[in-house]
Structure formats: structure tokens, C-alpha cells
Amino acid sequence: MYKIRFGILSTAKIGIEQVIPAMQNGEYTEIAAIASRERNKAIEAAEILNIPKAYESYEKLLADPEIDAVYIPLPNHLHVPWSIKALEAGKHVLCEKPIGLNAVEAQQLLDASAEYPHLKVMEAFMYRHHPRWIRTKSLIDEGRIGSLKSIHSFFTYFKDEPENIRFRPGMGGGGLMDVGCYNISLSRFLFDKNPDQVQSITKIHPEYGVDILSSGLLDFESGTSTFTCSMQCAGLQHVQIMGTIARIEMNMPFNPPVDRETELYVYSGDTVETIRFAPCNHYTIQGDLFAKSILDNTDVPTHLQDAVDNMKIIDSILENK
């Protein structure tokens, strides 16, 4: 079976520690090259991860005719520029979330992608492809919890590292861009629409100028979604999904363990149903689904318009902080 040959633009931690090893286990994905602006970093990463080629520039990787697609885990402000350069070089693009700095940038990428209809572009929201989320969506669509009325989610962690890109507003730092985008995405995913109204309270770090705590309320007319995201709170990942007759709860909804079973819980009256899922890696699944869309020339699992819509809500929150 033919595999899509991926090149990795940057030696970012998420790629080195999570995404690349996961995609190396994919049925349809092959990691063929990695690039860094520092030659030694590229060579070291290639040796550690057994990647055949190492490039000292992103441009050289994009010029490699043996690379079919790129995965981009660059800092947020570089997502759209390098995604467009990859398209211009004839490569399919799987780009980390959030897709850009704002909705205008995201729209620029969507417009640019229309000029290359033979190439696939997708934002890498890996959580959506995990079997737990697929099952959760089907339970809601089948009416298992009645009518969806409310979602409440947390995604928080504590970090205080001024040199970290998350504390640099010009590079797309802040908690909303890093983790709040998940809370917003899951709300739109489950309600299957965009909210009619958005209200929020956001706290900005007085020295670094990035959001460190945000709580939001999304109004979907038929129901609401509330969330809290932060990069200066105790760590928590949890979601509650409330229907008219039952509710679903999930721990570690965005970064579940890959080496053991995961669960979701359906509460109905006095009963609790535990639904278990075999160990899996959503980065592996995401890579295979994206690669399969290339091989079969079908639509990607998540259209780029979805990325634009998510950025519009983030913009709305940040503009009204």
C-alpha cells in the first residue's frame, strides 16, 4: 500500500515527542524528512527519530520532489505563511492548530488553497478523530441524551516561562490560542453549527500582554456552551455534555493516554454506563485519515472553513477582553 511521504517543518517539541512517532506508526504515513533553521537540530532530530533526510532550511525541504505533504508545527504566526509556501511548492498541508493569528489570516489560507484544488489542506485538531469523540458525537446525534442543551469544558495548565512562545503576543501566544481553541472547537463540533452570540471574560498578564485566563459563553440558540481555559491555573481537562434526558462526561478529553483504555460515562437517571475504548493514538489516526484523503482524492475530514470559523470566535473574545 502506497504511503504519503511527509516532511516536517521544524523540530518543535510537539512534533518530536508526539506527532512524528505517532505518524511513523501510521498505515498510510511515512516521515521522510525533517527541517530546521539550525542544521544541527535537524540532524539530531533525524538521528533520534530515524528520519532519512535532514534539511537546514524549510525551503530545501519544500523543494524535495520526493516529499508529498508537510506537517507544520511551527509557532502560530508562521502557520499561514509556510502553509501557503508549501502549497506553492506543490505539497499537501497538515498544519497545527490554531491555523493562524486571526480569522483574516485563516481566510487568506482558505483563499490560497482554492488556487490549488488538487492539494489537501487541513488544520490538525487531532482530538476530533479519537474514537471517544466520534462515539460522543454519534450518541448526541442519535438522541441518546435527548436534546443537547449545555456543554461545560475545562482546559487548563500552569506555566510561567517568559521565554516560551506562549508568552509572546506577536507570535500568537496566550491561553485561548494554545488551549481555548479546543473548548471552542468541541462546542461547534457537538452543536454542529457556529454560535449566534459570544460573551467572555479574559484576564491579561500585566507584563507579557497575553491572555492567561478566559471564561466564555457561547450561545447556540438551542443550547449553550461554557468554558474556562488558562495557562496559569492548576491543570484540568474535563468536559460535561448535558442533554434533556442524560449527560456525558469525559476526563482528559484532549490529551488522552495512548497506552491504556479510555472511557466516557453516560449518566441517565440513577444509572451510569461506562463505554470503554481500546488504546489508540489520535495523532496516528489523524495522519492516516489525512493521508487517505490524498490517496483516494476525497475531502479531508475537517474542511479549512472550520478553521476560519473557529478563529472568528477567538477573535471575538480577544477583541472584547
Residue 22 is part of a domain; what is its CATH number? 3.40.50.720
pLDDT at position 117:
97
Same domain, 214 and 293: no
Together in a domain, 101 and 159: no
Residues of the chain with pLDDT under 70: 1, 321
- Examine residue 230 and state whether it is found in any structural domain, yes or no: yes
Q: Is residue 176 included in any domain, yes or no?
A: yes
Q: Are residues 190 and 288 both part of a single domain?
A: no
pLDDT of the residue at 1: 61
Q: Same domain, yes or no, for 143 and 264?
A: yes
| Residue 320 is assigned to a structural domain of this protein | no
The pLDDT of residue 284 = 98
Counting the structural domains of the chain, the total is 2
pLDDT at 320: 79
Domain assignment present for residue 246? The answer is yes
- We report the CATH number of the domain holding residue 177 as 3.30.360.10
Q: Does residue 272 share a domain with residue 206?
A: yes
Within this chain, do residues 147 and 268 fall inside the same structural domain, yes or no? yes
Q: What does pTM read for this prediction?
A: 0.96
292/272 same-domain check: no
Let me know if residue 307 belongs to a domain: no
Which among 22, 5, 18, 3 has a CA at the least distance from the CA of 285? Answer: 22
CA distance 182 to 153: 9
Q: Is residue 9 part of a domain?
A: yes
Domain presence at residue 195: yes
Edge-first strand listing for the sheet containing 69-72: 53-55, 29-35, 4-9, 69-72, 92-96, 121-124
Same domain, 39 and 152: no
| 197 and 239 co-located in one domain | yes
The residue range of the domain holding 275 is 131-279
Kindly report, residue by residue over 173-191, the tens digit of the pLDDT: 999 999 999 999 999 999 9
Contact between 35 and 10 (Cβ < 8 Å) = yes
Does residue 21 sit within a domain? yes
Domain co-membership, 54 together with 91? yes
Query: Are residues 89 and 182 both part of a single domain?
Result: no
